[in-house]
Amino acid sequence: MALKSFIEVHPSSHFPIQNLPYGVFKPEPGSVARPGVAIGDYVLDLSAIAAAGLFNGPILNNSGCFHEPNLNKLLALGRPAWKEARATLQKLLSSTEPSLRDNESLRQKSLIPLSKVEMVLPIAIGNYTDFFSSLHHAKNCGTIFRGPQNPIPPNWFHLPIAYHGRASSIVISGTDITRPRGQGPPAGNSPPPFGPSVKLDFELEMAAIVGPGNELGKPVDVNEAADHIFGLVLMNDWSARDIQAWEYVPLGPFLGKSFGTTISPWIVTLEALEPFSCEAPKQDPHPLPYLAEKISKNYDISLEVQIKPAGQDDSHVVTKSNFNNLYWTLTQQLAHHTINGCNLRPGDLLGTGTISGPEPESYGCLLELTWNGQKQLSLNGTPRKFLEDGDEVIISGVSKGNGYNIGFGTCSGKIVPSSP
């Protein structure tokens, strides 16, 4: 019989007892941020649970990691601690366990309606890396930016290409994004045009949160890489295509990306996603030994992007994709990242890159969906080539199980005009 909580959870909820994603929240404005897990329409305050002595396993007892304003300390403890926390919390929240269920005072203190709390960034992000792991995205972008002859660079099939992103401008879902200003590609011999970006885009991504890191000079084996990943979030890697197109040769994307990156507040653990793991695509050519893994896993996570234009009541689905469209796995990404000795640290963020599927309806950004503005989308009659001021972009992700969902909630952000 399926595990069930004493807290009522609607079957359509993203947050049943099988999920228990981690976030950091303030119960009210101005209060101290603390870790929590989502359960149904509530967040369970883990600092209250720790203070009540209910994290009584050998690793987490007195670890102090639930009295922190971020999850980095829990991340650093590694998989044994994460398993212990999950076992403790699933027991505590189950319908058959009285210790929290029958303790009204502790319930009052520790279970807070999600609608009342403010979510904040769950981790202190030291470094943010963004990969480029969807073949369809790579092919479409290559075709648009460099033409249809050999759109995919020859290195793409041999290594998970990535670049360093900007960590300081990563914000939590719900934060407004200011339209960036910058230079675009010049026409002929004119100087480059300067002003607010006219090709502002979203990118549908997910990102892995790094747990224990590795020492500088000591690569992580691809078959052990999963133990370095705590979980996943949804991510919107906002992109200004005009700025990006002009600046990115030869050193890669910079200001076209660094004005803001939004992540969802809830980190869904790899443990919770395990029932939705599936075989990763066959790789041809066979990867080099350091990237050849014994078990090559993807996850079946349905992804969707909606846009809600300013002044409209409804949002409109613009694409549907799936995490399993990735060619390179999370573990290959992580192993590749460290093969040169680069050190990862708890809380580092590894973006997957835009997750596009093969069909035009599954492309992960407007650049692809409107083919760089050559076509337009209709949002129930409102045309869109790129994002307009006031547009809100809402990403959601969910794995649908037998009678329950493992969901990520949403990752949203609204475009506000450039500052004068």
Q: How far is the CB of 204 from a copy of itself (least distance, A)?
A: 18
Q: Binding residues for a copy of itself, per CB under 8 A?
A: 126-127, 132, 142, 145-146, 153-155, 158-159, 161-169, 171, 178, 180-183, 186, 191-192, 194, 213, 216-219, 240, 243, 246-256, 258-260, 285, 288-290, 336-337, 339-345, 348, 419
Three-state SS string over 297-313 comes to EEECCEEEEEEECCCCC
Q: How far is the CB of 122 from a copy of itself (least distance, A)?
A: 18
Q: Which is nearer to a copy of itself, 39 or 255 (CB)?
A: 255
Pull the structure tokens for residue 152.
């995919």
Residue 205 in marked binding region:
yes
Q: Which is nearer to a copy of itself, 239 or 298 (CB)?
A: 239
Give the integer Cα–Cα distance in Å for 203 and 393: 10
Phi, psi for 274 (deg, rounded to 5):
-55, -40
Residues near 31 by Cβ (< 8 Å), separated by ≥ 6? Answer: none
Scan for tokens 């329409």, then name that residue. Answer: 41
Q: Which is nearer to a copy of itself, 161 or 366 (CB)?
A: 161
Residue 257 in marked binding region:
yes
The closest alpha carbon to 349, from 216, 160, 208, belongs to 208
Q: How far is the CB of 393 from a copy of itself (least distance, A)?
A: 17
Q: Which is nearer to a copy of itself, 126 or 390 (CB)?
A: 126
Measured between alpha carbons, how far is residue 342 from residues 137, 162, 334, 356 in Å? 26, 13, 10, 28
Q: Which is nearer to a copy of itself, 88 or 258 (CB)?
A: 258
Residue 18 in marked binding region:
no
Catalytic one of 10, 14, 136, 137: 137
Q: How far is the CB of 218 from a copy of itself (least distance, A)?
A: 6
Kindly report whether the peptide bond that precedes residue 186 is cis, defined as omega within 30 degrees of 0.
Answer: no
Residue 179 in marked binding region:
no
Q: How far is the CB of 219 from a copy of itself (least distance, A)?
A: 7
Pull the structure tokens for residue 64.
């102090």
Residue 244 in marked binding region:
yes
Count Cα neighbours of 36 within 13 Å in the Cβ-side half-sphere: 30
Q: Which is nearer to a copy of itself, 58 or 250 (CB)?
A: 250
Q: Are 361 and 320 in contact (CB under 8 A)?
A: yes
Give the integer Cα–Cα distance in Å for 67 and 51: 9
Q: How far is the CB of 84 from a copy of itself (least distance, A)?
A: 27
Radius of gyration of the chain (CA): 22
The closest alpha carbon to 63, from 33, 38, 94, 88, belongs to 88
H or E element that contains 75: helix 72-77
Q: Which is nearer to a copy of itself, 174 or 401 (CB)?
A: 174
Residues near 312 by Cβ (< 8 Å), separated by ≥ 6? Answer: 379, 380, 382
Residue 237 in marked binding region:
yes
Q: How far is the CB of 388 from a copy of itself (least distance, A)?
A: 18
Tell me, yes or no, if 336 is annotated catalytic.
no
Are β-strands 162-165 and 128-131 bridged in parallel, bridged antiparallel, or unpaired? antiparallel
Residue 132 in marked binding region:
yes
The closest alpha carbon to 24, from 72, 64, 92, 57, belongs to 72
Q: How many residues does the chain have?
A: 420
Q: Are 383 and 145 in contact (CB under 8 A)?
A: no
Q: Can you say how many angstroms the Cα of residue 112 is from the centroid of all Cα atoms in its chain? A: 24
Alpha helices in 278-385 (DSSP H): 330-338, 366-369
Query: Which sequence positions are flagged as catalytic?
Result: 137
Binding-site entries: 130, 132, 146, 203, 205, 237, 244, 248, 257, 261, 354
